[in-house]
Amino acid sequence: PASAPAHRPLPKAELHLHIEGTLEPGLAFTLAERNGVTLPYATEDELRRAYSFSDLQSFLNLYYALMEVLRTEDDFADLAHAYLARAKEQGVRHAEIFFDPQAHTSRGVPLGTVIRGLARALDAAPEAYGITTRLIMCFLRDESAESALATFEAARPYLDRITAVGLDSAEVGHPPSKFQEVFALAREAGLKCVAHAGEEGPAAYVWEALDLLGVDRVDHGVRCMEDERLVARLVADRIPLTVCPLSNVRLRVVDDLADHPLPAMLDAGLLVTVNSDDPAYFGGYADDNFTAVRDALGLDDATLRTLARNSFLASFLDEETRAAYL
């Protein structure tokens, strides 16, 4: 595996992590061979060279294509184990993990296969890696509202394993308002709610996520900085934002890490956390993101400790467990 940090990483929670986005080229080829899937790349190096993105969609195309290798319960368990081993090296003590059921069920992989495979690894994680976990089931916003509703109904037998619902995939043209009904059902079922908003989409989508979906956290949310009233609302309601700095650079949400709005967000009083999004694709896991913002933005140790503390404050851990980390 790639380098563990040289320093001792701060203990932290990872709150924005797509498990499918942790599929490293090596494991992709291993699973392709195991399942008799032919990848459109001859070697790991050739695949790695495809990791050059112009926007969110150009990344999503590769992200969905590579999922082809994930077919069995073992595949999902192996994927999650590989992530957890990396996360441990990066100081992650708690991980709230997204998965995209529709990206698998649409390929004929049953929802139960996905959830049982992931759950097998997550159940072993406290003992094996010293990491507690939660699962967040995301709806693909570029699929229909009906498909999201059908996915939620299919997940009812597994809701005891799922902490929250989320919303991801291609943002522009697919506002949160499209998913009001399924989020209302999730809330009625006692689940927390999060949504990607204000990554490529406008600040208006963050308003919708708050007012129409009732989200407990906003994923990305960096474009909130274009709307002063929205920032005031997020601060007043203590709504956490799960920011993903290396992702924002690779998907050209920001031109350069040195231009990232993270310091301005902290100065505005927002409850900001730093996360890795799709670390196999974006060049770094949780602590790699901490190190990158430290170096590019000149964050001091106190600010890094605030970010680590925020990650626990913003988590869905129960009060008692959370308090032990603060």
Active site residues: 199
Question: Minimal distance in Å, beta carbon 323 to ligand ADE?
Answer: 31
14, 75, 199, 216: which one binds ligand ADE (CB under 6 A)? 199
Alpha-carbon distance 109 to 101, whole Å? 9
Q: Is 7 annotated as a binding residue?
A: no
Question: Minimal distance in Å, beta carbon 21 to ligand ADE?
Answer: 5
Q: Which is closer to Zn ion, CB of 96 or CB of 277?
A: 277
Structural tokens at position 255: 């031109």
Q: Is 96 in the site for ligand ADE (CB under 6 A)?
A: no
3-state secondary structure of 194: strand
Q: Which is closer to ligand ADE, CB of 14 or CB of 199?
A: 199
**Paired residues of 138 in beta bridges:** 166
- Residues 6 or more apart in contact with residue 145 via CB below 8 angstroms: 178, 179, 181, 182
278, 291, 299, 314: which one binds ligand ADE (CB under 6 A)? 278
Taking CB atoms, the residue at the shortest distance from ligand ADE is: 168
Q: Which is closer to ligand ADE, CB of 199 or CB of 288?
A: 199
Q: Which is closer to ligand ADE, CB of 117 or CB of 279?
A: 279
Total chain residues near ligand ADE (CB under 6 A): 11
Question: Minimal distance in Å, beta carbon 140 to ligand ADE?
Answer: 8
Chain-centre distance for alpha carbon 276: 7
H-helix or E-strand containing 195?
strand 192-197
Structural tokens at position 134: 């939660």
Q: Which of residues 264-323 bind Zn ion (CB under 5 A)?
A: 277
Q: What does the buried/exposed string (b/e) look like for 76-89 if buried means 16 or more CB atoms within 10 Å of the residue's CB?
A: bbbbbbbbbebbbb
Q: Is 273 in the site for ligand ADE (CB under 6 A)?
A: no
Sheet-wide strand order for 192-197: 12-18, 92-99, 132-140, 164-168, 192-197, 217-220, 241-243, 272-274
Q: Which of residues 158-197 bind ligand ADE (CB under 6 A)?
A: 168-169, 196
- Residues 6 or more apart in contact with residue 142 via CB below 8 angstroms: 169, 170, 173, 174
CA distances from 248 to 36, 47, 83, 222, 243 (A): 34, 21, 21, 9, 8
Question: Minimal distance in Å, beta carbon 151 to ligand ADE?
Answer: 15
Question: Minimal distance in Å, beta carbon 277 to ligand ADE?
Answer: 5
Residue pair 128/84 in contact (Cβ under 8 Å)? The answer is yes
Q: Is 16 annotated as a binding residue?
A: yes
Q: Is 20 in the site for Zn ion (CB under 5 A)?
A: no
Annotated binding-site members for Zn(2+): 16, 18, 196, 277
Q: Which positions lie near ligand ADE, rule CB under 6 A? A: 18, 21, 56, 63, 168-169, 196, 199, 247, 277-278
Q: Which positions lie near Zn ion, rule CB under 5 A? A: 277
Annotated binding-site members for substrate: 278
